[in-house]
A and B are shown apart, each in its own frame.
Chain A
Amino acid sequence: MSSSTPAPQDPVHSESFLASLMRRQLQLSVACAAAFLIVLLGLPLANYYAPELMATRVAGFTLSWLILGVVFFPVVWVISYVFIKRSIGLEEAEVRQVENERKG
């Protein structure tokens, strides 16, 4: 797109802005994904290495059944709630930062 490289002084188009933007967003996403994956990928391992523990009865359910069939959903809601809060906050901070730089 040779025609119009927009005003180079605009901080939005600097390499450092894009890099920090992507880095901060990815950090947040990866942190939330890690919390989720530990639970998701950990459960089969727990079933594999500690079958007796996971077969403990809780109100008729086996522990493993209770975790997977019921408890898992609220855990995921909490993770996604945290992510949405933080990512909306992140966007607002980015907009403020750009506006300040444009003024200053």
Chain B
Amino acid sequence: MGTTSFLLAVVDSGGVDGWIVAFSAITVIVTLWMGFRAAKTSKTASDFFVAGRSVSVGWNASAISGEYLSAASFMGIAGMVMSSGYDALWYPVCYACGYLFLLLFIAGPLRRFGAYTIPDFAEGRFDSPLFRKIAVCFVLFIGFFYTMPQMKGAGVTLAYIFPSLPYWAGVVLVGGVITLNVALGGMKGITLVQAFQYWIKMFAISVPIFVVMAVYGGYGAHIGANKTVVENAAPIVEVTRQPLTEKAPRDEVWVAPFGPLTTKAVNAAAKAMPEEERAVFLAEKQKSYSLLYTYSLIIALVCGTAGLPHILVRFYTNPDGGAAKRTTMWVMILIGVFYVFPPVFGVLGRNLLPELYAGLGAKGTDKIVLELPRLIAEKYGVLGSILSGITCAGAFAAFMSTFSGLLVSMTGALAHDVYGRILRPQSTAEQRLRAFKFSAVLIGGVAVLLGCFVEPLEINFMVGQAFAIAAASYFPLLFMSVWWRGMTMKGAATGMLAGGLCALIAATVTNLATLSLDPGPMGKLFAGFKGMNDFWATHPLLRILCEQPAIWAVPLAIVLMVIVSKLTSKDVPSDVRMKMLVLHAPEKLGLKQEYIQEHQAGLGH
């Protein structure tokens, strides 16, 4: 009763649009209903972990795409393109193209090796239960970094739908609902839900923007309204622009490469300098540092995709390696088509809703996807509310699907690896199932707590950090273990730990420093880290390397792997040739069964 009256009070407090509430509510209810329905049919522990390994290509491709298109893709990219312009385009492109790397080097061999999770692979490849424990940590590290932006997406969307609701309430509400769903349904429910949610997101991002473009002018026309540095005036003047607000970047830096996103560190350093030195410093450093930033970002996103635990686990739900490859092809088409649209929102938003540049946290550019379709209401009344309702439904689908996917893989790591393998190897199936549910609630709770702190950080930027950590830990591990026979467990562990932890620390420091600048409550909470920004003002290069660590952390991990493996070369697993055969020989040759028999004979089971 208490919660109902609270909700009624929120709805009554004005500014709530019935259409938007209805569309969002339908998405949530259908998601929950599918989860509960699946809960009835999924019984065994194997159902919970990888859906009994029998998911068709079409379902699996939609489900992977559905899981991959997170709040960052749906809301964050549009917000970042609006706030930073051209440079932010690297995000959607690399999110989509990182899949190619996964396909080329990792997907096939990993599928042939056949293990439930990355920690399974780590243990199987090096015959080392110790390495499994190390590898499991990163499922949780990367996972928590990835859940924070999803939680922000939830907070922003609910604060948009119910303007009187505080940011944290949205985080708690959505986090709680999804955690319950995962605890009851497991992965089988999730595959269905994810596939369904891909199509919601695709519909929700494309239909409203086509309507907005039909009314207010196309993608090209709105970019054309921004003049470049070589032009005296914008080439296309037929679209009406609202005057830019004070905080908006100027046309020529926004539309061109090496804009506000990648030059932030150098610009901050220039501001701290005496006026007469600025011009020389900027001319010398701005573009070259910006290029470095761009490359580091590309490495993080492309390699990071290949090391995302919640994506990799899905390759095992395909019946065979050929199907896994066809799935990847379809995933790239499905997400590639999707990623054309979010930047359009950012471009149109710059010209039509520039007042968002002045907003902070949940009221800033990150909500452009939700806000833009509402403009239609000025001309066509209720249609604007309906379209905004559709994008809200898409946003719900986005953070709900990614958060549940993450929750499944993190819960899997905790229940399957930590509990089932490390703490209680003798536990019964029933105990493991109970452990799965308990882990889901525990991880969901921590994710919600973290999500409450990150309101001032950009959604898309935080996801980029999760990618950087994955790129410096799992990517080198998978890539080197699949293609290099000389790798030892010590080498793999040293490289993965060093690279991954460095990236993790760099990302955390960057976030704490950004939070300390927040004018709201977070600024007070993290005020101790203000000094970091002053230090970076005199060392812009270090700031870039800290903000985008992939360019040094990935090579560091690989070099350490090679050096330590060479030093411990006597520890190369004795049956490494057989392992390599299983990783690379076609599945039709049946080496996998042979390997399992031989392995069990060797271990004396």
Contact = CB atoms under 8 A, between A and B. Distances in A.
A41 B97 CA distance: 12
Contact of B594 (A6, A26, A92): A6
B424 interface: no
Given A21-B584, A77-B332, A68 B90 contact: yes
B167 interface: no
B520 interface: no
A27 B321 CA distance: 19
B235 A18 contact: no
Contacts of A77: 329, 332-333, 336
B86 interface: yes
Interface of A: 1-4, 6, 12-13, 15, 18, 21-22, 25-26, 29, 32-33, 36, 40-41, 44, 47-48, 51-52, 54-55, 57, 59-62, 64-65, 68-70, 72-74, 76-77, 79-81, 83-84, 87-88, 91-92, 94-95, 98
A44 B296 CA distance: 12
B103 A80 contact: yes
A102 to B, nearest CB: 10
B282 interface: no
25 contacts: A1-B578, A1-B601, A3-B601, A4-B601, A6-B598, A18-B581, A21-B584, A36-B100, A48-B291, A55-B228, A55-B230, A65-B86, A68-B90, A69-B93, A69-B340, A69-B343, A72-B97, A76-B100, A77-B329, A77-B332, A81-B329, A83-B104, A91-B322, A91-B588, A92-B586
B585 A12 contact: yes
Given A68-B93, A76-B97, A47 B599 contact: no
A52 B256 CA distance: 10
B541 to A, nearest CB: 17
Given A4-B598, A94-B585, A65 B97 contact: no
Contacts of A3: 598, 601-602
Contacts of B337: 73
Given A4-B601, A60-B220, A80-B99, 7 more contacts: A1-B602, A12-B589, A21-B584, A22-B584, A33-B101, A33-B105, A76-B96
A73 B98 CA distance: 11
Given A36-B100, A68-B89, A69-B340, A87 B325 contact: yes
A87 B86 contact: no
A69 B99 CA distance: 17
A74 B578 CA distance: 38
B229 interface: yes
Nearest to B343: A69
A103 to B, nearest CB: 14
A73 B295 CA distance: 19
A76 B257 contact: no
Given A22-B584, A69-B89, A59 B295 contact: no
Interface of B: 86, 89-90, 92-94, 96-97, 99-101, 103-105, 108, 218-224, 228-230, 235-236, 255-258, 287, 291, 294-295, 298, 302, 321-322, 325-326, 328-329, 332-333, 336-337, 339-340, 343, 483, 574-575, 577-578, 580-581, 584-586, 588-589, 591, 594, 598-599, 601-602
Contacts of A95: 586, 588-589
B328 A80 contact: yes
A84 B107 CA distance: 11
Contacts of A33: 100-101, 104-105
B89 A65 contact: yes
Contacts of B585: 12, 18, 21, 94
Contacts of A41: 295, 298
A29 to B, nearest CB: 4
Nearest to B591: A12
B251 to A, nearest CB: 11
Nearest to B291: A48
A20 to B, nearest CB: 10
Contacts of B326: 84
A21 B326 CA distance: 21
Contact of A76 (B220, B221, B325, B336): B336
Most chain B C-beta atoms within 10 Å of own C-beta, residue among A21, A65, A70: A65
